[in-house]
Amino acid sequence: MLPVGNLGQEIKGKPDFYGPIWYLITLIFALTVLSNLARYLSYFFESDSKLNELATFKFSLLFKSCSVCFGTWLLAPATFLLLLFVLGQRLNGTQVAEMYCIWGYSYIFYIFATLVCIMPSKVAAPHQTLSFFAHAAAAAGCSLMLLHQFNGYLSQFEGKLKYVLFGLIIGWQVLLFLIFRFTFY
């Protein structure tokens, strides 16, 4: 299932975690393998004399990517739900599951950004700029998708409360953007 159209209507009343979990696992795999590959390729094109010393597979990135991906997937919707609860909106278990599903599906944008970032800096001279814009576009796409999908919940609030909820969604995406940029690439 691709996160296009009105995903909230498609999964309404019957949320599944199969798709979002696979998106997260794919992102974890992509972050771990492709960030290591990008490091290896940048060492290969910059200096092959120290290639064996510098280009080793960093297994610590697997733990980091699992922690970041599953951590943000659990915490970001939880803070959104908590804020909705504080503002007086009560959700049933199915609606909570739908929110987690939608948030999980939104990670597809980061999978595409990770694919763009494997180009080494010598091949694509403005690699850091390309990587920056790829992750920024992923954060923007993810934010726009979440704002669109959660519009039904957000439309009940007016003025500053609505912008606080907007800010929370965008804030989590900015945090994820910064973590991906400075931890993996």
Lowest mean pLDDT among 21-25, 26-30, 113-117, 118-122: 118-122
In a domain, 9, yes or no: no
pLDDT tens profile 46-95: 665 555 555 677 888 899 999 999 999 999 999 999 988 888 888 888 88
Alpha helices, H only, the chain: 7-11, 18-46, 51-54, 60-86, 93-105, 108-116, 127-149, 151-154, 160-179
Q: Is the pLDDT of residue 2 over 50?
A: no
CB crowding 5-27: b at 16 or more within 10 Å, else e: eebbeebeeebeeebbeebbebb
Whether residue 21 lies inside any domain: the answer is yes
Host domain of residue 164: 14-184
User: What is the tally of structural domains in the chain?
Assistant: 1
**Nearest CA to 105 among 133, 66, 77?**
77
Q: Is residue 121 part of a domain?
A: yes
Q: What is the pTM of this model?
A: 0.82
pLDDT tens, residue by residue, 6-17? 666 667 767 788
* Residue 149 resides in a domain: yes
pLDDT in tens, 112-149: 998 888 765 555 555 567 788 888 999 999 999 998 88
Please give the average per-residue pLDDT across 171-183, as a whole number: 91
Residue 2 lies in a domain: no
- pLDDT value at position 160? 80
Residue 171: the pLDDT is 95
Domain assignment present for residue 1? The answer is: no
Residue 74: inside a domain:
yes
Query: Is 8 part of a structural domain of the chain?
Result: no
